[in-house]
């Protein structure tokens, strides 16, 4: 399997240099995004030796050793003997992989870090799910970072096209369009990213099988099956609701109004296990990127978030594509090829908006949207796809974003929003398939690949 360079590697180097063994590092992310792989590569390059304990499948003697943490010499002897690795003080790394499977190991971090002999990295999915932390004390000696599927820049690098992202950033900074042929190349890469996604195994299958969408699709479907199995392990009455919600994500996103209003789907369900909790579970598992409604578009969007409605995006758009279409529908790769050739209009908007959400999250943004209800018309007459806080602005203004999947579109909502909240807005963006341009009213129109610059 191909190993890809990941941006998070620089964060690992920074942690090692700054912590000097004083803190363990927890890497949280969805299943199959490459956490274990990048940590093991880091261990091989940066340490004299390492031990990786996979709590999905490790020796019973290793788990039993965590019962006797008062004798750390014996604990390290068990690890060294079991894995056949010599541990070197201050030059060895111990990795707790999928640590949510064995919470006792996570709780042991306090004592292990205090001992100071070795460095520790934990990786896990579903880390913040209550059932994985309810019986342990979270160690204060642990710092955490989130890891996501490969972003567009990492994807381009994997396809041996890293220079194009440098050119994209240069054009964005200078406020100019890409040269025509390079714009077309970048759009082809963007559509490819939208279909294959950022799951390393999906990208590897595509490359290893002569650019085959079929093999990539098979890998994505196996990941989706894995997510369903994780959901089926939920302890509690709302397991079936989480699974049902996961199955319906493509249906939610294919609607004109992609948001879900809880009051419309609860229908008398007990508030203890509402559908709101199902979206929270999917978000906490990092299977989805949840976008909350902001009731008052102003600086501090989180303070004005309204949890009565949500837009639920798949964490990876390549997975969404395979989740939305059956294997028979994509037979002979024709559906993939139609989208790559920009020939398919159906559901393209769903994919566009999802991939923009994915790219914004990868860039460190929290997701918010805005709607205005018209009492006279009895419907929403204004909706903004995404709102960002501009923390670089002295007064902390906001940035509204509209996503358009076709070259012909209207901008009524964005125009009305800009008029209503003019003093709060630092700049506005339309993300569309065309090249970079600026409208007469100052709205900046960018191609979707330029989302990496926001």
pLDDT on residue 86 = 98
Residue 94 φ/ψ region, left for φ over 0, alpha for ψ in the -120 to 50 degree band, beta for the rest:
beta
Q: DSSP readout, 186-203?
A: HHHHHHHHHHH-S-HHHH
Mean pLDDT of the chain: 89
Closest to 364 (Cα-Cα) out of 249, 447, 451: 451
pLDDT on residue 268 = 44
pLDDT surpasses 70 at 275: no
Is there a domain that residue 2 lies in? no
Residues 327 and 233 in one domain: yes
Domain membership of residue 353 as a residue range? 152-453
> What is the Cα–Cα distance from 367 to 183, expressed in whole angstroms?
27
Residue 42 or residue 269, greater confidence: 42
Question: Can you give the pTM of this predicted structure?
Answer: 0.91
Grade residue 320 by pLDDT with cuts at 50, 70 and 90.
Answer: very high
Residues 383 and 270 in one domain: yes
Grade residue 271 by pLDDT with cuts at 50, 70 and 90.
Answer: very low
Q: Considering its fold, how many domains does the chain have in total?
A: 2
Is there a domain that residue 219 lies in? yes
**Which residue among 97, 131, 146 closes a domain?**
146
Average pLDDT over residues 234-244: 85
Is there a domain that residue 301 lies in? yes
pLDDT on residue 272 = 43
Burial 187-198, CB ≥16 within 10 A → b, else e:
bebbbbbbbbbb
Grade residue 262 by pLDDT with cuts at 50, 70 and 90.
Answer: low
Tens-digit pLDDT profile for residues 181-234: 999 999 999 999 999 999 999 999 999 999 989 999 999 999 999 999 999 988
Grade residue 269 by pLDDT with cuts at 50, 70 and 90.
Answer: very low
Query: Does residue 405 sit in helix, strand or coil?
Result: coil
Is there a domain that residue 3 lies in? no
Tens-digit pLDDT profile for residues 344-389: 655 678 899 999 999 999 999 999 999 887 766 656 778 999 999 8
Residues 120 and 35 in one domain: yes
> What is the Cα–Cα distance from 288 to 313, expressed in whole angstroms?
5
Grade residue 130 by pLDDT with cuts at 50, 70 and 90.
Answer: low
**Which residue among 82, 117, 146 closes a domain?**
146
Residues 174 and 31 in one domain: no
Ranked by mean pLDDT, the top range of 240-254, 327-341, 386-400 is 240-254
Residues 223 and 134 in one domain: no
From residue 405, alpha-carbon distances to 67, 191, 295, 442, 448 in Å are 56, 11, 26, 21, 9
Residues 275 and 369 in one domain: yes
pLDDT surpasses 60 at 273: no
pLDDT surpasses 90 at 289: yes
> What is the Cα–Cα distance from 112 to 120, expressed in whole angstroms?
8
CB 25 within 8 A of CB 106: no
Residue with tokens 């579903």: 126
Residues 247 and 109 in one domain: no
**Which residue among 91, 117, 146 closes a domain?**
146
Residue 268 φ/ψ region, left for φ over 0, alpha for ψ in the -120 to 50 degree band, beta for the rest:
left
> What is the Cα–Cα distance from 219 to 31, expressed in whole angstroms?
13
Residues 77 and 213 in one domain: no
Ranked by mean pLDDT, the top range of 19-33, 321-335, 372-386 is 19-33
Average pLDDT over residues 424-432: 95
Residues contacting residue 435 through CB under 8 Å, at least 6 positions apart: 177, 178, 180, 183, 447
Grade residue 319 by pLDDT with cuts at 50, 70 and 90.
Answer: very high
pLDDT surpasses 70 at 329: no
Cα angle vertex 444, ends 425, 163, to 5°? 125
CB 130 within 8 A of CB 143: no
Q: Domain with 46 in it: what CATH number?
A: 3.40.50.300
Q: What share of the chain is helix, strand, coil (3-state, %, to 5)?
A: 50, 15, 35
Average pLDDT over residues 177-182: 97
pLDDT surpasses 90 at 336: no
Is there a domain that residue 300 lies in? yes
pLDDT on residue 349 = 84
Residues 210 and 105 in one domain: no
Q: DSSP readout, 40-97?
A: HHHHHHH-SEEEEEETTS--HHHHHHGGGTT-HHHHHHHHHHHHT----TTSEEEEEE
Is there a domain that residue 372 lies in? yes
Is there a domain that residue 211 lies in? yes
> What is the Cα–Cα distance from 416 to 418, expressed in whole angstroms?
5
Among the residue ranges 102-106, 128-132, 362-366, the one predicted with the least confidence is: 128-132
> What is the Cα–Cα distance from 231 to 243, expressed in whole angstroms?
6
Residues 133 and 202 in one domain: no
Residues 173 and 84 in one domain: no
Average pLDDT over residues 439-450: 96
Residues 164 and 128 in one domain: no
């Amino acid at each position: 399997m191909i190993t890809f360079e990941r941006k998070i590697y620089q964060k690992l180097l920074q942690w090692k240099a700054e912590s000097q063994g004083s803190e363990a590092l927890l890497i949280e992310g969805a299943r199959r995004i490459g956490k274990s792989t990048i940590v093991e590569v880091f261990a091989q390059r940066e340490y004299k030796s390492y031990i990786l304990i996979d709590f999905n499948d490790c020796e019973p003697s290793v788990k039993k050793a965590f019962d006797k943490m008062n004798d750390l010499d014996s604990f390290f002897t068990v690890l060294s003997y079991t894995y056949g690795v010599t541990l070197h003080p201050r030059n060895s790394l111990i990795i707790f992989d999928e640590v949510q499977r064995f919470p006792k190991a996570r709780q042991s971090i306090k004592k292990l870090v205090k001992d100071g002999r070795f460095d520790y990295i934990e990786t896990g999915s579903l880390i913040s799910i209550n059932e994985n932390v309810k019986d342990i004390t979270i160690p204060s000696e642990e710092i955490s970072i989130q890891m996501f599927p490969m972003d567009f820049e990492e994807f381009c690098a994997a396809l041996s096209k890293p220079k194009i992202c440098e050119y994209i950033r240069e054009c964005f900074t200078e406020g100019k369009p890409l040269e025509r042929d390079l714009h077309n190349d970048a759009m082809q890469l963007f559509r490819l990213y939208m279909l294959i996604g950022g799951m390393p195994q999906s990208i590897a299958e595509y490359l290893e099988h002569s650019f085959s969408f079929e093999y990539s699709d098979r890998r994505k479907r196996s990941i989706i099956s894995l997510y369903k199995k994780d959901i089926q392990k939920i302890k509690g009455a709302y397991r079936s609701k989480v699974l049902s919600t996961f199955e319906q994500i493509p249906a939610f996103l294919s609607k004109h109004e992609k948001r879900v209003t809880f009051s419309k789907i609860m229908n008398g369900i007990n508030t203890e296990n509402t559908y709101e909790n199902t979206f929270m579970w999917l978000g906490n598992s990092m299977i989805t990127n949840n976008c909350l409604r902001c009731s008052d578009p102003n600086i501090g969007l989180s303070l004005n978030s309204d949890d009565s409605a949500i837009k639920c995006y798949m964490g990876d758009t390549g997975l969404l594509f395979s989740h939305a279409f059956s294997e028979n529908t994509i037979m002979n790769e024709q559906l993939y090829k139609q989208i790559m050739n920009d020939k398919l209009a159906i559901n393209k908007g769903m994919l566009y908006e999802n991939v923009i959400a994915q790219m914004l999250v990868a860039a460190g943004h929290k997701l918010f949207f805005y709607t205005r209800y018209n009492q006279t018309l009895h419907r929403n007459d204004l909706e903004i796809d995404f709102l960002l806080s501009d923390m670089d602005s002295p007064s902390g203004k906001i940035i509204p974003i509209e996503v358009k999947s076709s070259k012909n579109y209207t901008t009524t909502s964005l125009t009305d929003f800009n008029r209503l909240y003019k003093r709060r807005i630092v700049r506005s963006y339309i993300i569309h398939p065309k090249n970079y341009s600026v409208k007469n009213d100052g709205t900046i129109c960018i191609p979707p690949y330029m989302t990496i610059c926001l």
